[in-house]
Structure 1
Amino acid sequence: MSPASAVPASLADRYSILRPLGSGGMATVYLARDLRHDRDVALKLLRPDIADALGRERFVREIRVAARLTHPHILPLYDSGEADGALFFVMPVMEGLTLRALMDREGPLPVETAARIASEVADALDYAHRQDIVHRDIKPENILLHEGHALVADFGIGKAIAAASGQARTLTQIGVTVGTPAYMSPEQASGESLDGRSDLFSLGCVLYEMLTGEVAFEAASVPATIAKRFIHTPPAVTQQRKDVTPIVAETVAQLLAKEPAERHPTGAAVAKALRTPSAPAAAQPRTEVAENAIAVLPFVNMSTDAENEYFSDGLTEEIITDLSRIAALRVTSRTSSQQYKGSALGAREIGRALGVRHILTGSVRRAGNALRISAQLIDAADDSQRWAEKYSGTMDDVFDLQERVSREIVAALGVSLAPDEDRRLATRGFKHVEAYELFLEARERLRTFVVADKDWDALVARAISIEGEVPPLVALRVWGELSKLKAGIGDHHSLDRIERQARELVAAAPDEPWGHGVLGYAAFERGEPVQAIIGFQEAINRDPTDTQSRFFQCVALTYTGMIDEGIAATRRMVAVDPLAPLGLLMDSIKEWFIGGAPASIPAVRRAVASDPQNLMMRWTLAYGLTIVRDFDAAAQEVDIMRRAMPELPYGIQADALLRAARGDTAGAQGLVEHLDLAPFDAHLTFHFAEVWAVLGDFDRALDVMALGMRKGFFPPTYIGTHCRFIDGLRNHPGFGSLLQEAERRSAEVRARVAGVL
């Protein structure tokens, strides 16, 4: 039988079968050509007897759930369904090896490599588990390595088969088991109900094998292999090789615990353990530890009501804000500190990762109106307790208790307060506890970008009705409106109203950082880079932990050609927020502007992994991949963006640029021909000019580039040298004058912001 004849006829207009790639226990995989999108894909057909044993409708329904998974370390599903009675699914064809092939070739892997691969798989598992999807078949054959990074394949297939089969015996009768015996968890082998911790056990088996070259649970027969995990504990990895760090060894041992409750609770916890500085794989660069540097870890909610989580997190942030306004202290931003919420790591490891000498931990217990706060200041150099205190009162005392905590920490650190610092510590923005609680809840939703929810506006409005238009609530409302605008939810014409409210806020409360940050962003949107840079700096001066303002200041500096200043600002951002995804993103972006596009890819991949739902990070990755002509990988990111938000302008640009670079002139033109560029920001406008340049319409490209420059994007070296997509445009008669204008404007901005930074 020819490969083409084995595939349902109803798929012939969509996929052209080229050749078989392989056959396994459940399916045959073919290399096929996706005729609609002009790309090679892997088309997998389930065996007919398996398809017969499954409930087709339920299988298709379950596989659709899996198809929604979008994560940089998950191999996406392009297509799936039923065709002429056959069940199929379609995936990208990836260049590279499976982890199994790598281990067969190399044997045991370097500790750094093994820990990095396992941490990336753990990231993927954590994301899927939060969508209630358990993989059920984590093994080296299902882990692909593309450009050195892990991609987990067949995600959701095991769940779909298990859910559709109805009875486990149905599959057993035709000789199929969901899962691979050598990597199954004890609960999976016993046929018990599963959660994500089953996948973590399987990951532990894989990590053990990567480090030792030996299968953790292997015997002469399948029944013996399954039985072995119940009665046998494999030798510690440190007995097999001496270069395995203690944290990696402890992580493996915990993953292989026979009881799920004894394993890590989540994939995120596994990834975090493997990325600590003593786990060399994905360790952050060690930051120089400053004596006056402190990180405030999220206070633990000890209340019986989980709804109080926002209160304990909010109290943590209030203390961070208090301490960050003291010039003698360097306080780590909330973004980085929050990543250690629930961590089992000690102060020494966390301090080393964040580059701080002191760690503040604490807990909050609330029962009705009663409130109890415990706080401990730890010296990260030796894990010793430097100060500890407990505070009891009622919710009516919360403002006094918060001030006492902050003042006693300052005293324990031996810091003297300047008069204005003392005044700010004594100033509280609220008189009513109920309004304060609403503020904390609304702010936490804003931090997690839940501002599209209509309840968010109601929370803020209710708080204002109780407290009045006090600065913290006005700042929250203004920043929320701006967040909606940035996310494409709000009305672009609302910028005038937002800016007016921000000016009123700054006039009424000049110490409130958010008002200055909003003014900076409004100027940025209007193409006024000098005012933007100054506005962001005013926000940073009032709150050095304001990563958003730091990031946009870096962007504004870079877009106006102040590359060295942008790099220096990025370093300052990373110093106060070393684990922030925005720092990784800025590291990637600046590479474009200094001609190092290939070097941008690893940083932005890490940024996407840390925030996979952020479509702007995915755009950055797609753009970088298009620069280096990795079109298939870029297409995956474009596909994720277009499916998530079809009308997202950045997604349209990435799609058009990729099509143009691939030679699909008609497809690219169809996307950009009738676009209204007026609402787009300077950066995006310039990137649409790149599309026209690649298409060869240089007159149109120059017009769009000039529009982008008027809006505020004019980095001379990028335009003149480093932007690869406009190489053909540089010989156009009108290009020279445009470049001269970019150089003139860049010099003007540099002169006007001298002394501001």
Structure 2
Amino acid sequence: MSESRPGIPAKLSERYDIREEIGAGGMAVVFDAWDRRHERAVAVKLIRPELTSKAMVERFEREIAVAARLVHPHVVPVFDSGVEGETMYFVMPRLTGGTLRDRLKAGGGLPLAEVRRLAEQIGGALDYAHGFGLIHRDVKPENILYASGSFLLADFGVARGGSAPGLASGSASTTGAFLGTPSYASPEQLYADRELTTASDQYSFACVLFEALTGQKPFPTQNVVEIVVAHTTEPPPEVSTFRADVPPVMEAALKRALAKQPDDRFPSVAAFLEVFLANLETTAALRQVWTPRTRAAAVLLLVGSLGAGLFVGGRLKDGDPADRARSIAVLPCRNLSGDPAQDYFSDGVTEQIIAQLSALPDLHVINMLSVMRFRGTTKEAREIGRELDADLLVLCTANRQPEGVRIGAQVVDAASGNVLMTRDYTDSTSGILKPQLDASMHIVQALSVTMRGTQRPGPTTTITQDSAYSLYMRGRHAWHRSTLDGLESAGQLLRQAVQQDPNFALAWAGVADVHLSFVGRWMAPPTPQYTAAEAAVASALRAQPSLGEALAARARLRHRRDWNFEGAAQDLRAARRATPSAWQPYLDYAKLMSVQARHEDAITLASTGLRLDPLNALNVLGLAEILYHARRFDDALVQVDRAIELEPEFAFNQLWRAMILISLARPEDAARAALRATQLAGRHPGMLAILARAEADAGRPEMARELLREMRRASAVAYVPPTLEAVVHIGLGDRDAAVDALTRAVGERDWFISELAVHPLADGVRDDPRVRALLTQMGLERVPTPGPAVPAAASGRRSAIE
């Protein structure tokens, strides 16, 4: 055992071989060290003893416990921490790529692409930490590490807790004690007698981005008094005076984030990023952002403390297939309790592992609806991997009993079937949420997966009571049935969940989705459903402002009801950052692009979402819809037939097949598909409308008119969207009746009316001046007139989509 270095507690030296000093600041000293127990290089950070007080120690122990739970690809994890005598310390990985400060020493600022990457990665890390109520308090270039092409935020050991993101911190206050670095400190932090909010980190981060762009700090003086005066009273210089290529929107975002008063800044770091990165929204940049594996190599080693649970098993060896993995599928967790009512708990474990895996770099994580097809499967690993295009499979079991919970997991190489790792988790309680979170987090941490490519933000978890969470999981379980009964059951369970916990953001987002699904699929009256969905979204975002599911629901409202296409796009970009493994924001964004005739962008987005959930019939059908609006009818038919193979009893698959066949001038085939849809959906108005249109196109107008009369009779007891009537009238050549129906659709905010500019079945009236006026009312007057159908052979993309 080596002797303790001066100033290093003896017990700390027993665990770590403390080597040379590698950094020092006003708060701490950092040493290069070797972790004897785990045989790995680490960095040990010692808080200066003169800062130690009883209150500081209590706060440090409380907040470092939260910081140690952060699992994010751009947060340097905390391996160990503690207090030895008067010395507070924490241990993190020893990364050798240097810091942002090292990269800034050359002067002149960084390339714009690198600044954007810095903003997205570190901003995402801050927003993630703020979701846990943590305020970093010392965001500066020295605490931003660089490793294998990616930026990582370090030093959460001096973070402080807040009562909620964006709100003033409570019991963790240390009035009168300044912790941080003056050159990057917010005005309220410099005063040291004010409560801090997440807006303080936003200000510090804006200072860092200012320096990354210009090569100098906003207030470059070295005199501490002058720094304080400048930060609290002087406006920062214009970025454009130092650098001409900085986009105006980026400069404007920085100016607001550097406001002296916290309330004048953005409501969150995520909102700041939304504006700062807004210039990325061009076709070329959009493709770059959403095309996987396009950025520099990055390495993330997720190794953490075991927490409350106990894990046993091995670890992956160098050269294992996981080192080469690019796609992973978590098969449905098997319920070993013997009680089918516990299926929702097992599904929750599956979802939590998927959510945690989505934080790993450039890893395609197959979504829930695709993997659920393999519940109880007897297929071999190689066959499953081929169907899902997955390199690795995670097989798990869950046994929840009154005396406790046991969760096991195996990682399997899909190509060989070899078991690469085994983990077993036990919890002596019979809870729901905590075992799912702890088990999934540590299963993923234990993988120590080495990945390359685009880094993604980690998941933010809504914490609630077990009873409400149980209702939420049962609601999600019902949702996956994709039936009207399942949707109604999901709505009841989710509403019960929010009654038990009014701050349960995920459940509120689910309530919003239920209302929107009633409008979009089951033809409920739009106005009351939109109003209820809007209220649910507001409740979700009050509880968790950056919740991806709530932002995606608000985007659908902005698209379908408000025709606020730019606002919807902003929400979907934020939702994609918040839930990077989710397919729905990609498909929703694709539909948003589609109604504006941005077809190539729409196809790219929908195809990317499909890679995340390849066996989800709704996702496949979504791509068919996008191709249909782009008039690639043959390609659309290929996709809809795939959807039918996946879900042969799903009526909407047949409905879309009928529409495509109508546009391919095959009305008899279309009528057969539409008739099958009506059989599956029980004379659903949407199915009747497409059947009537097929009959009209087939030269049977009386049959079409009889079906139209049936739709009108149905409207006495159920809502029939006017767009459906318009589709039939167009087929019958009744132009005035069609325009009247479309006018009513605009007034009623019909879910489908935003597709008017591009939908092939509206071709018969789109040139009418009254219809052009409707398009102007919706802000779609600049959408180009649709061109002719694109043959599959001419598109040059069919094989890639398949």
For normalisation by structure 1, the TM-score amounts to 0.52
Cα distance in 2 for residues equivalent to 1:408 and 1:562: 41
Q: 1:441 matched to which residue of 2?
A: 474
1:303 aligns with 2:303: no
Q: Give the 3-state SS of the residue equivalent to 2:783 in structure 1.
A: helix
Q: 1:368 matched to which residue of 2?
A: 402
Q: 1:76 matched to which residue of 2?
A: none
Q: Name the amino acid aligned to 2:541.
A: V
How many Å apart are 1:480 and its aligned residue? 3.0
Q: Name the amino acid aligned to 1:563.
A: H
Matches within 5 A, 1:659-674: 659-672=695-708
Cα distance in 2 for residues equivalent to 1:402 and 1:739: 48
Q: Find the partner of 2:383 among 349, 363, 383.
A: 349
- Cα separation, partners in 2 of 1:512 and 1:695, compared to 1, 3 Å: same
CA deviations on 1:286-305 (whole Å, 9 max, x unpaired) are xxx97343211111112222
On the 8 A contact 2:327/2:365 being kept in 1, the answer is yes
Matches within 5 A, 1:93-108: none
1:410 aligns with 2:442: no
Q: Find the partner of 1:566 among 595, 598, 602.
A: 602
Q: Give the 3-state SS of the residue equivalent to 1:365 in structure 2.
A: strand
Q: 1:322 matched to which residue of 2?
A: 356
Q: Name the amino acid aligned to 1:349.
A: E
- Cα separation, partners in 2 of 1:451 and 1:516, compared to 1, 3 Å: farther
1:626 aligns with 2:662: yes
Q: Name the amino acid aligned to 1:560.
A: Q
- Cα separation, partners in 2 of 1:689 and 1:437, compared to 1, 3 Å: closer
Q: Name the amino acid aligned to 2:474.
A: E
- Cα separation, partners in 2 of 1:687 and 1:596, compared to 1, 3 Å: farther
- Cα separation, partners in 2 of 1:590 and 1:458, compared to 1, 3 Å: closer
1:520 aligns with 2:555: yes
Q: 2:347 matched to which residue of 1?
A: 313
Q: 1:637 matched to which residue of 2?
A: 673
Q: Give the 3-state SS of the residue equivalent to 2:374 in structure 1.
A: coil
Matches within 5 A, 1:549-588: 549-588=585-624
Cα distance in 2 for residues equivalent to 1:717 and 1:434: 47
Q: 2:216 matched to which residue of 1?
A: none
On the 8 A contact 2:398/2:405 being kept in 1, the answer is yes
Q: Name the amino acid aligned to 1:438.
A: L
Q: Name the amino acid aligned to 2:670.
A: A
Task: Give the number of aligned pairs.
Answer: 449
Q: Find the partner of 2:628 among 592, 601, 615.
A: 592
- Cα separation, partners in 2 of 1:480 and 1:326, compared to 1, 3 Å: farther
- Cα separation, partners in 2 of 1:717 and 1:396, compared to 1, 3 Å: closer
Q: Find the partner of 2:783 among 743, 746, 753.
A: 746
On the 8 A contact 1:391/1:401 being kept in 2, the answer is no
Q: Name the amino acid aligned to 2:671.
A: A
How many Å apart are 1:707 and its aligned residue? 6.6
On the 8 A contact 2:506/2:540 being kept in 1, the answer is no
How many Å apart are 1:736 and its aligned residue? 8.1
On the 8 A contact 2:655/2:673 being kept in 1, the answer is yes
How many Å apart are 1:735 and its aligned residue? 7.8
How many Å apart are 1:520 and its aligned residue? 1.6
Cα distance in 2 for residues equivalent to 1:687 and 1:460: 31
Deviates more, 1:546-555 or 1:560-569: 546-555
How many Å apart are 1:381 and its aligned residue? 4.1
- Cα separation, partners in 2 of 1:631 and 1:337, compared to 1, 3 Å: same
Cα distance in 2 for residues equivalent to 1:620 and 1:466: 40
CA deviations on 1:646-699 (whole Å, 9 max, x unpaired) are 5633123212212211223234345447959999xxx97556444333322334
CA deviations on 1:310-348 (whole Å, 9 max, x unpaired) are 211121112212222445533111111222222223333
Q: 2:735 matched to which residue of 1?
A: 698
Cα distance in 2 for residues equivalent to 1:730 and 1:521: 24
On the 8 A contact 2:558/2:564 being kept in 1, the answer is yes
Q: 2:287 matched to which residue of 1?
A: none
On the 8 A contact 1:451/1:480 being kept in 2, the answer is no
On the 8 A contact 1:295/1:337 being kept in 2, the answer is yes
Q: 1:655 matched to which residue of 2?
A: 691
Q: 1:141 matched to which residue of 2?
A: none
1:504 aligns with 2:539: yes
- Cα separation, partners in 2 of 1:390 and 1:297, compared to 1, 3 Å: same
Q: Give the 3-state SS of the residue equivalent to 1:356 in structure 2.
A: coil
Cα distance in 2 for residues equivalent to 1:290 and 1:632: 50
Q: Give the 3-state SS of the residue equivalent to 2:677 in structure 1.
A: helix
Matches within 5 A, 1:152-231: none
On the 8 A contact 1:451/1:483 being kept in 2, the answer is no
Q: Find the partner of 1:334 among 368, 371, 395.
A: 368
1:544 aligns with 2:580: yes
Over the aligned positions, Cα root-mean-square deviation in angstroms equals 4.0
Matches within 5 A, 1:79-90: none
On the 8 A contact 2:358/2:456 being kept in 1, the answer is no
Q: Give the 3-state SS of the residue equivalent to 1:372 in structure 2.
A: strand
How many Å apart are 1:532 and its aligned residue? 3.1
Q: 1:121 matched to which residue of 2?
A: none
Cα distance in 1 for residues equivalent to 2:517 and 2:745: 23
Cα distance in 2 for residues equivalent to 1:534 and 1:656: 38
Cα distance in 2 for residues equivalent to 1:464 and 1:733: 47
Q: Name the amino acid aligned to 2:783.
A: S
On the 8 A contact 1:513/1:538 being kept in 2, the answer is yes
How many Å apart are 1:392 and its aligned residue? 1.7
Cα distance in 1 for residues equivalent to 2:597 and 2:723: 14
Cα distance in 2 for residues equivalent to 1:413 and 1:483: 39
- Cα separation, partners in 2 of 1:543 and 1:611, compared to 1, 3 Å: same
Cα distance in 1 for residues equivalent to 2:391 and 2:591: 30
On the 8 A contact 2:403/2:429 being kept in 1, the answer is yes
Q: Name the amino acid aligned to 1:358.
A: L
Q: Name the amino acid aligned to 1:448.
A: R
Q: 1:494 matched to which residue of 2?
A: 529
How many Å apart are 1:714 and its aligned residue? 6.5
How many Å apart are 1:363 and its aligned residue? 0.7
* Bigger helix fraction: 1
Cα distance in 1 for residues equivalent to 2:389 and 2:726: 42
Matches within 5 A, 1:673-712: 688-702=725-739, 704=741
On the 8 A contact 2:462/2:505 being kept in 1, the answer is no
Cα distance in 2 for residues equivalent to 1:734 and 1:305: 60
Cα distance in 1 for residues equivalent to 2:466 and 2:367: 26
On the 8 A contact 2:597/2:630 being kept in 1, the answer is no
Structure 1: unaligned runs, 5 residues or longer:
1-288, 749-757
CA deviations on 1:232-286 (whole Å, 9 max, x unpaired) are xxxxxxxxxxxxxxxxxxxxxxxxxxxxxxxxxxxxxxxxxxxxxxxxxxxxxxx
Cα distance in 1 for residues equivalent to 2:659 and 2:614: 24
On the 8 A contact 1:463/1:473 being kept in 2, the answer is yes
Q: Give the 3-state SS of the residue equivalent to 2:631 in structure 1.
A: coil
CA deviations on 1:435-494 (whole Å, 9 max, x unpaired) are 333322222012224674776555445544554532233233333333344443755323
On the 8 A contact 1:694/1:725 being kept in 2, the answer is no
Q: Name the amino acid aligned to 2:601.
A: E
Cα distance in 2 for residues equivalent to 1:577 and 1:497: 29
- Cα separation, partners in 2 of 1:635 and 1:356, compared to 1, 3 Å: same
